[in-house]
Structure 1
Amino acid sequence: MPTAAEPPRSTAGAPEPTDPRTPARPAADARPFWPVLLPVLLALAALTRVPSFLRPVWNPDEGFLATQARMLADGGVLYDTVVDRKPPLLPWLYQGTFALFGDESLWPPKAAAVLAVATTAALLASLARRRWGERAGWTAGLLYAPVSVCLGPEDAQAANFEIFALPFTVAAVWCADRRRWGAAGLAVAGAFLVKQTGGAVLLPVAYLLWRSVPRGRERWTALARLGAGSAVPVVAVALATGWRGFLFWTVTGSGSYASFAGSELHVLGRGLGNTALVAAGYVGLLVPLAAALRGRVPGRRRVLTPDLWVWLAASAIAVLSGFHFFGHYYLQLLPPLVLLATGALRLLPADRLRTTALCCALSCSVFLGWTAVADDTELEHARRVAAAVREHAAPDEKVLIWGMHPEGYWFADRAPASRYLTAGLLTNFSGGRDGHRVGERYGVEGGWRTFRAELTKDPPKVVVDDSRGKPYAPSRMPTLRSFLAAHYERVERVDGAVVYVLRAER
């Protein structure tokens, strides 16, 4: 399949190049493309992400990453005394920005997220320009940033995993489109090392290789380069962090988390709700694509090429994996949708481009407006809990916040007493369960044994029961319940959370 095919004459009157296999090129008297577009993309990314700087954290993932980064900076060991079910690149990014700019604010990773969005938009612009010309390049680049914030505020504005995985994802396709198979493999590895589902981009990359490289020695050489580029960085990171821990926490240790048994209706409701929300936010892309598919538009198959559909299908599989359907998961659908919509607009009358631009701008405005009135109840709760922790624990004393908001550790500026920063890791509630398959028996393998040893060796000065009626309450966890009864006394209730302090030895 020619990866840079130019479509036949569209209804907008665009001329055909003499050789459809030749990438579209700007006219000799055209204005500079990148010197103009890149500053615009950076400004647009910054503008659409202004709300991300207006709150210290937007969701617990940011609090988890910030606390992890502090633990790593204090000598913690990833996948040993600092754990999560994610690959290491984003914790390392947070740690690096904290080392350079301090750890009192999350503005450095939030600024890095702006750069990640602008980079993704630029790569999409480059892909579209190579295939369909400069106008398409501008279209793809300018569509991405506004639509990327058309999610719930806590999903759209957080400096989260998908935001940083997508530049690698698009870079992988960009390299494959140019037959740079080793570089494509490195980009696939980068996407995987930010979040496991980022590795799904290997499917469209492999498809492009199969379609564009002739059979025989040349194809085997390309496969070897792609495989080496994909595998070597992952293996190197696994060896650097300890391959057993890396394999457990990123692949084999999430069986209970990935299952939705017992919570089918709960998960289905979230999936339907977030899918409807995303469809509303992405409507500016979906409408022209549907119009191009519905009508008998000349050149449709040469523009909406199979590799783009394979990419979209792989992204959909990534969204479905784990059966949790959190809003930020859907960001992986956006890059292929932007390119498909750009291709569709290439085939449709010129006025459709204006309509699409207005629709995307309106959607962006609505979702940005949502951030201004978004509920901050949980944020204020975490701050009040942190204030209580600071009151009862000195700066050098460890604490345990038994809940789902690890940002409490970061706000309190107190070291966690355990490597398990949320109750979910020990009870399986982190998947958003509705009460089924939540308990000690469903936590990570060996977790309660390690947790008990941590608490026994160095008991935290303060324990906060932040379950607030959730199914992971200490009353349902025999190990924690008996530990609290034996060593702690209740001192106060803060906004529904119960604060315990270590009893003095007699």
Structure 2
Amino acid sequence: MLTQAQQSLPYVSDDRRAAPHPARAPARRGYWRRLLPLLALLACATRVPSFAQPLWNPDEGYLAVQARMLAHGGTLYESVVDRKPPLVPWLYEAVFAVFGSQSLTPLKWCAVAAQLVTAVLLASTARRRWGDGAGRTAGVLYLLISVGLNPEDAQAATFEVFMLPWTAAAVWCADRRRWGWCGAAVAGAFLVKQTGAAVLVPVAWALWRCGAPRRDVLRCTAGVVLPVLAAACATDPAGFLFWTVTGSGAYASFTGSELHVLVRGLTNAAILAVACAGILPPVVRVLRIARTGRGELWLWLASSAVAVLAGFHFFGHYYLQLTPPLALLGTAALQILPRERLLDALLASACCCALFVGWGLLAPRPDLTHAQRVADAVRARTAPQEPVLVWGMHPETYWLANRPPASRFLTAGLLTNYSGGRDGGQVGERWAVPGTWPTFRTEFTTRPPALVVDDSRGGPYGVERVRGLRRMLAGYERVGEADGAVLYRPREPGS
């Protein structure tokens, strides 16, 4: 016999012809008028720390420098390169065009809006499935756990934050059988970050499960393919394919620094588990007696977990992709437990959220302090339009110094494969992105930097370990240091 909990579980049968949603109480009027202000206030409160620093991590710095290069006539995937798709660089460029490029504050507000949109879409999905109360729970839970990582990962206005509204929109559209828009949302997630395409797994499951006719499958496929093709044609198709798909084989390898990377992955998983302390116990408890929600929610979580594993780097911001399905699964589990369990879950989540917000407000930022000191030294030794080469992993130095980069390769990682925290055997010129060194040498020759900053500080990609860079610096002399970074200027004629 079924237990009382199993009898009350709001699940959907696996029968593909079953009704898409269980019966629920009629919706109340004014629901969104009351809920939206609450979610907006919570979205702002959880991201207060993001406004406390000029920037939070090198990804923000990289995007800011990219946007400036694009504004000055650069072309994405030709003279402006990165391993990421184009939507976020275009967003930065557009915001800088309106508000100027001296501050990331407008982008931080865009990140707040992205989190709010994600919360609203999750609330709408939960409300459709389990009723008004579940909608409120899902929206609030998502925002509470969305900052549950190292502040450098959770508070930055970078790829994952802007990817999540698209993934939530894809599930929302699939829930309503709007397959063309669903495919477009999947494409949007991919065009923010490649791993956003993982949401295609639950979407495909939803297509199969509802017995969608062929025309709906074609609509969804067109929705996915056409925006990606349009983005490729708007940039450089060959460059788009290379930089976003085929050119990162060494970067995605597990070889090199295995223990270091594994410890990072386990640490970030543990941090996120602390943030989700209010919802993981209900999910585990309900799993023992019944199914929580529809299969695509579990597939969404599983495919997101695979996306976190992809590339074997396990950076904290990768884990943000897990938070929307976790919020919905937690909401589903809480629907069949006593009401006091819901209150306990919300209270625990709120306390954990307060802990992470406090961490963001109080934690020191030694990397930012270092980049600011180096930027001050660069400004003191160069004129505003003189190109500079920063050989390191802090592209934000260019933005803080307000100096143009001498190369399209904004980090030493693209030229040595050090990016991703590699510090083992796969670091060096032979592991660089294919074809980058001939281009780099040409740039160095045709437009020599007025100042070279060796910011490796003993790293495995230091000048003494990279023969090609040592040769290029033969015409330069050491002129000083800045917080451990070594500064080089061209030698005077005859010296």
Query: Normalization by structure 2: what TM-score?
Result: 0.95
| Pairwise CA distance, 1:25 | 5.7
State the alpha-carbon separation in 1 of the partners of residues 392 and 257 from structure 2: 20
State the alpha-carbon separation in 1 of the partners of residues 424 and 19 from structure 2: 58
- Give the gaps of 5 or more residues in structure 2: 1-5, 11-17
- 1:214-245 Cα offsets, whole Å, 9 max, x none, are 5xxx2x11111111000000011111111100
| Pairwise CA distance, 1:9 | 3.2
State how 1:397-476 maps to structure 2 within 5 Å: 397-476=386-465
- The farther-off stretch of 268-277 and 382-391 is 268-277
Change over 3 Å in CA distance of 1:86–1:22 after alignment to 2? closer
| Counterpart residue number, 2:14 | none
Letter in 2 for 1:501: R
Q: SS of 2:479's equivalent?
A: strand
After superposing on structure 2, the runs of 4+ consecutive aligned residues of structure 1 that deviate more than 3 Å are 7-11, 19-28
Change over 3 Å in CA distance of 1:22–1:79 after alignment to 2? closer
Q: SS of 1:429's equivalent?
A: coil
Q: SS of 2:486's equivalent?
A: strand
| Counterpart residue number, 1:32 | 30
- 1:339-391 Cα offsets, whole Å, 9 max, x none, are 11000000101100100001000110111111123231111110110011111
The answer on whether the counterparts of 1:392 and 1:501 sit within 8 Å (CA) in structure 2 is no
1:194 and 2:192 correspond: yes
- 1:422-481 Cα offsets, whole Å, 9 max, x none, are 000000000101232000000000111100000000100000000000000011111111
1:138 and 2:139 correspond: no
State the alpha-carbon separation in 2 of the partners of residues 39 and 26 from structure 1: 23
State the alpha-carbon separation in 2 of the partners of residues 60 and 476 from structure 1: 23
| Counterpart residue number, 1:488 | 476
State the alpha-carbon separation in 1 of the partners of residues 229 and 21 from structure 2: 38
1:222 and 2:210 correspond: no
The answer on whether the counterparts of 1:406 and 1:421 sit within 8 Å (CA) in structure 2 is yes
State the alpha-carbon separation in 1 of the partners of residues 342 and 484 from structure 2: 51
State the alpha-carbon separation in 2 of the partners of residues 22 and 496 from structure 1: 61
Q: SS of 1:79's equivalent?
A: coil
| Pairwise CA distance, 1:213 | 2.2
State how 1:251-290 maps to structure 2 within 5 Å: 251-290=245-284
State the alpha-carbon separation in 2 of the partners of residues 260 and 436 from structure 1: 11
| Counterpart residue number, 2:148 | 150
Q: Percent identity?
A: 61
State how 1:46-445 maps to structure 2 within 5 Å: 46-214=44-212, 218=213, 220-294=214-288, 296=289, 300-301=290-291, 303-445=292-434
Aligned pair count reads 482
| Pairwise CA distance, 1:286 | 0.7
State the alpha-carbon separation in 2 of the partners of residues 332 and 209 from structure 1: 22
State the alpha-carbon separation in 2 of the partners of residues 289 and 52 from structure 1: 30
Change over 3 Å in CA distance of 1:129–1:450 after alignment to 2? same
The answer on whether the counterparts of 1:24 and 1:129 sit within 8 Å (CA) in structure 2 is no
State the alpha-carbon separation in 2 of the partners of residues 258 and 9 from structure 1: 45
- Give the gaps of 5 or more residues in structure 1: 1-6, 12-18
State the alpha-carbon separation in 2 of the partners of residues 391 and 279 from structure 1: 45
Letter in 2 for 1:73: A
The answer on whether the counterparts of 2:48 and 2:357 sit within 8 Å (CA) in structure 1 is no
| Pairwise CA distance, 1:272 | 1.3
- The farther-off stretch of 474-483 and 131-140 is 474-483
- The farther-off stretch of 31-40 and 436-445 is 31-40
Query: Normalization by structure 1: what TM-score?
Result: 0.93
Please report the RMSD computed on the Cα atoms of aligned residues, expressed in angstroms: 1.5
- 1:35-81 Cα offsets, whole Å, 9 max, x none, are 11112111110111011011001000000000000000011110011
